[in-house]
Amino acid sequence: MTQTASNKNGPAQVWLYDTTLRDGAQREGLALSIEDKLRIARQLDRLGIPFIEGGWPGANPKDVQFFWQLREEPLTQAEVVAFCSTRRPGRKAAEEPMLQPILAAGTRWITLFGKSWDLHVIEGLQTTLPENLAMIHDTIAFLRSQERRIIYDAEHWFDGYKHNPDYALQTLQAAIAAGAEWLVLCDTNGGTLPNEVAEIVRAVQVWLAEQFVSREMPPKLGIHTHNDSGTAVANALAAVKEGAVMVQGTVNGYGERCGNANLCTLIPNLQIKLGHTCIQPEQLKMLRETSRFVSEVVNLAPDDHAPFVGLSAFAHKGGIHVSAVERNPLTYEHIEPAQVGNCRRIVISDQSGLSNILAKARSFGIELDKKNPASRQLLERLKELEHEGYQFEAAEASFELLMRSALGQRPHFFDLQGFQVNCDRMPDGDRWRSHSLATVKVQVKGQEILEAAEGNGPVSALDAALRKALLNFYPAIAQFHLADYKVRILDSKAGTSAKTRVLLESSNGSQRWTTVGVSANIIEASYQAVVEGLEYGLILQEQPIKAVLASS
């Protein structure tokens, strides 16, 4: 890989370094299998990320196997990077057992972190300041002797520099003298603010220029920020403005405590707003897809309100906004959504005007005339239902069904004629076990069907019974499954008599859609959402190309 130096007179190449598989995996509640890590690594490779940190070989068997499998089936363009620390105090790097699995991983690049803050050296490592410098130099020199290229992560850099700048710079000098090609300044505690980052990076640039007045090009600077002050992205951008040409971060900002700098926010800001080259424009269009892919693999719900890649990033709800965006998207959109693989959405709610209704209808391939009485009737019905507690901005599948009903275009698949649910709590050894039995009666294609099914809860039993009744008539239902289920109490003051809203997300394996039900009876609300979820899935089955609402 060639490296492009920072150019203060114009945008430079910015090298992206992803640490989702190591730093991101330290997020509370996030766990990755080897297969998970391999799938994410290959997706990041397709996205065009130059450096992918795979983990710490030797720290656990999983990371050892991950690197071994990537040697068997290498990535197409990314450099996979092994991560480790400096040798321990009082040892020689060549005799440090911890470094042997690092070399065995077989990566060309190794990221090594060392202490920058004298507080950590004395109280954390419990060694002397000179020994810490020796640890940095000795470890890098040894790895270089093994023909490895080194990215040096200066841990706690900003805290260390603020406390003892002279010593912090000595740690960088030790890394440079040993052969590090990158110096990455880390805000490990996430407590530094953008103005401080800019000032300190600027000072390091001046110091580097003084060190290399009559010598070859100095090592390149990088930045690694955490989000404990909510400024990780801003801090990384500030560092780039001062000449840093590597940005380390994670997909969706995953990471320990409050997370790391979010690459899904950084990449478009760097590339679209600041003009830096990070990845190819066609790869940039994969950004939302990558964000969603990683969230699915790690089993965390996507952040709908994430900048650039969130479901709501280009959603328009207010009638005035919708009307303006219909005339010129620049009125309420800072970039073209397609640049990052996202799309414009017209959100429906009780704040909607006719502009919302017409625009949303167009997204379903239905042209409505403002003068058509059905348009006004649909708007009024929408507002009545939202007043009752329905939420169509989060359940667009239910809104399409409502719109089709108003226009007389809603397919008729079955008629619900009633249901019953029995719930029991029975002893099971030294525990109690819940059990539910549901019975449904439906009319399908002129036939009356009565079916019963069991489940571990009332909604599960109802869903199973209804599927059982319909499966012979609509085999596609076998592919549908519940992806998410949310319940909200709409009037907490009413206690157990409160009205309940249920949002139910369904999937057919490649598409997702959300339906809503509202009732003072949580089972009734759930059943409404279940019925509409099945109905909408059947519509998608008949019209697979449209798939307007589905989000894979």
pLDDT of residue 493: 64
Say how many residues make up the chain.
Answer: 552
Phi then psi for residue 80, to 5 deg, are -85, 135
> Which of the following CATH numbers is that of domain 479-552: 3.90.226.10, 3.40.50.1220, 3.30.160.340, 2.60.120.10?
3.30.160.340
Same fold, 414-473 and 479-552: yes
Strand partners, 428: 431
Collect all residues with Cβ–Cβ distance below 8 Å to 249 and sequence separation of at least 6.
16, 17, 18, 19, 224, 225, 232, 236, 260, 261, 262, 263, 266
Torsional class of 263: left (φ above 0), alpha (ψ -120 to 50), beta (otherwise) = alpha
Cα gap 490→498, rounded to integer Å: 7
Cα gap 102→83, rounded to integer Å: 8
| Residue 303 in tokens | 């952040």
Cα gap 172→180, rounded to integer Å: 9
pLDDT of residue 2: 35
| CA-to-CA separations, 514 to 393, 410, 510, in angstroms, rounded | 10, 17, 14
pLDDT of residue 76: 96
| Residue 288 in tokens | 């939302």
CB 190 within 8 Å of CB 227: yes
Domain ranges of the chain: 15-20+37-297, 315-388, 414-473, 479-552
Collect all residues with Cβ–Cβ distance below 8 Å to 248 and sequence separation of at least 6.
17, 18, 19, 153, 184, 222, 223, 224, 225, 260, 261
- Class (C level, CATH) for 15-20+37-297: alpha beta
Phi then psi for residue 549, to 5 deg, are -90, -20
| Residue 142 in tokens | 């040894």
Strands (E), 226-308: 246-249
Quick one: how far is CA 285 from the chain centroid? 15
CB 470 within 8 Å of CB 534: yes
With H, G, I as helix, E, B as strand and everything else as coil, classify residue 180: coil
pLDDT of residue 549: 34
With H, G, I as helix, E, B as strand and everything else as coil, classify residue 224: strand
Residue that the structure tokens 């940005």 belong to = 247
CB 235 within 8 Å of CB 204: no
CB 467 within 8 Å of CB 477: yes
Which residue, among 141, 153, 67, 138, has the nearest Cα to 108 in the 3D structure? 67
Helix boundaries (H) for 215-305? 232-241, 263-268, 281-284, 287-297
Which helix (H) or strand (E) segment holds residue 507: the answer is: strand 500-507
Side-chain-facing half-sphere of 22: CA atoms under 13 Å: 24
Q: What is the DSSP string of 364-394?
A: TT----TT-HHHHHHHHHHHHHHHHT---TT
Which helix (H) or strand (E) segment holds residue 99: the answer is: helix 99-104
Residue that the structure tokens 């057992």 belong to = 97
Per-residue pLDDT of the chain (552 residues), as tens digits, is 333 344 455 578 999 999 999 999 999 989 898 988 998 999 999 999 999 999 999 998 999 999 999 999 999 999 999 999 999 999 999 999 999 999 999 999 999 999 999 999 999 999 999 999 999 999 999 999 999 999 999 999 999 999 999 999 999 999 999 999 999 999 999 999 999 999 999 999 999 999 886 567 889 999 999 999 999 999 999 999 999 999 999 999 999 999 999 999 999 999 999 999 999 999 999 999 999 889 878 878 789 899 999 989 998 887 788 788 878 888 889 999 999 999 888 776 666 677 767 776 776 667 777 788 888 888 788 778 877 888 776 688 898 898 888 888 889 899 989 899 988 877 777 777 778 999 999 999 999 999 999 988 888 899 999 999 999 999 999 999 888 888 878 776 655 567 898 988 888 877 888 899 999 888 999 999 999 999 999 999 876 434 333 333
CB 280 within 8 Å of CB 270: no
Strand partners, 80: 52
The CA dihedral of 369, 372, 376, 381, to the nearest 10 degrees, is -100
CB 18 within 8 Å of CB 290: no
CB 139 within 8 Å of CB 93: yes
| Residue 505 in tokens | 């997300």
With H, G, I as helix, E, B as strand and everything else as coil, classify residue 60: strand
Q: CA torsion sign, 239 to 240 to 243 to 244?
A: positive
pTM, 2 dp: 0.73
pLDDT of residue 338: 92
With H, G, I as helix, E, B as strand and everything else as coil, classify residue 286: coil
CB 532 within 8 Å of CB 541: no
Note the CATH architecture for domain 414-473: 2-Layer Sandwich (3.30)
Cα gap 307→305, rounded to integer Å: 6
